[in-house]
Amino acid sequence: MNGAVPHLEAREVSKLYRSRRRQVRALERVSVAVPAGATVGVVGESGSGKSTLARLLLALDQPTEGAVFYRGTQVSGRKEKDLVAFRRRAQIVFQDPMSSLDPRMRVYDIVAEPLRALGVPGDERERVAELLASVELPADAGRRYPHQFSGGQRQRIAIARALGPSPEVLVADEPVSALDVSVRAQIMNLLAQLVRDFNLTLVLISHDMAVVRHLCRSVVVLYRGHVVESGPAERIYGSPEHPYTRELLVAVPRLRRERAEAHRGV
């Protein structure tokens, strides 16, 4: 770390959900610092608090304790009207391509809406066309409705929408989990390329360690609201220290190695 202010940072954030009968501690004093240009994977299973963390990082929810900072300025606990600049800089892509797009809106409007809401200057039509092209969707996609597209294509639309305001930070919450295997690779390639092309800082939330491995250079492992391990990806995957991390790595189903050897040449 060269001492530069991290793009996005959660400092000792906790999140407590209180219902009439009980309390759930979704996050317990979690600290994550995302430097500029980093690709950070947040790995965890259900109940780990990873999605809660994603929302807190984007100020879509408020931490019960602790604070979230963007480039050193606090964004948690602020009024919406003070967050407009932040919203332009940090965007999110969700897991379920079916529920993350308004079924009643045309794709053009879906992609254009952030531009309108955030007052992004420039020609809207041009920008939308540019965005659709950058996610490899045909230009006439704008006229159609989400239900006319496949899961992978809808995810591309969601990515195009997120890139509209030219964000610096992209948070992707399980972006490929709901997709077919053959499409997963396409979207992963797309994300990798967009991160390169637009110099994005990426925070990738996933339960799938293989996906994280491909897209992220550092990893944070969450278990039941706590950070159990974090560090560079090579170390985490090569010599994991925490028993939970090791359990996660061992649990992933593997194509039987001896078969896989034969295929390496392709």
Report the sign of the C-alpha dihedral through residues 29, 224, 202, 110, in that order. Answer: negative
Nearer to other proteins, 148 or 239 (CB): 148
Residues from 3 through 42 that contact other proteins (CB under 8 A) = none
Q: Which is nearer to other proteins, 12 or 189 (CB)?
A: 189
Helix (H) or strand (E) holding 101: none
Nearer CB in complex with other proteins: 3/238 = 238
Q: Classify 171 as helix, strand or coil.
A: strand
Contact between 209 and other proteins by CB under 8 A: the answer reads yes
Using the minimum distance from each CB to other proteins, give the nearer residue, 21 or 147. Answer: 147
Q: At its nearest, how many Å lie between other proteins and the CB of residue 145?
A: 9
- Residue ranges in 154-183 that form contacts with other proteins under rule CB under 8 A: 158, 161, 164-165, 178, 180-183
Contact criterion met (CB below 8 Å) for 24 and 186:
no
Residue span 100-119 as binding mask against other proteins, x where in contact by CB under 8 A, dash where not: xxxxxx-------xx--xx-
The answer to whether 128 contacts other proteins (rule: CB under 8 A) is: no
Tell me the residue type at 75: V
Q: Which two tokens stand for residue 220?
A: 């944070």
Is residue 237 a contact point for other proteins (CB under 8 A)? yes
Would you say 15 or 161 has its CB closer to other proteins? Answer: 161
From candidates 4, 24, 84, 139, binder to other proteins by CB under 8 A: 84
- φ and ψ of 38, to 5 deg: -80, 160
CB of 1 to other proteins, least distance (A): 22
Backbone φ and ψ for 223, nearest 5 degrees, come out as -140, 120
Of 54-73, binders to other proteins (CB under 8 A) are 55, 58, 60
Question: Residue 92 in contact with residue 162, Cβ under 8 Å?
Answer: yes
Please say which residue, 15 or 88, places its beta carbon nearer to other proteins. 88
Cα dihedral value 156, 111, 56, 191, nearest 10: 30
- Site residue total, other proteins (CB under 8 A): 75
- Tell me phi and psi for residue 49, to 5 degrees: 95, 10
The yes or no reply on residue 79 touching other proteins (CB under 8 A) is no
Torsion (CA) 27, 33, 38, 39 in degrees, nearest 10: -10
Q: Which of 152, 139, 51 is nearest to 97 (CA)?
A: 152
Residue 263 sits in the site that holds other proteins (CB under 8 A): yes
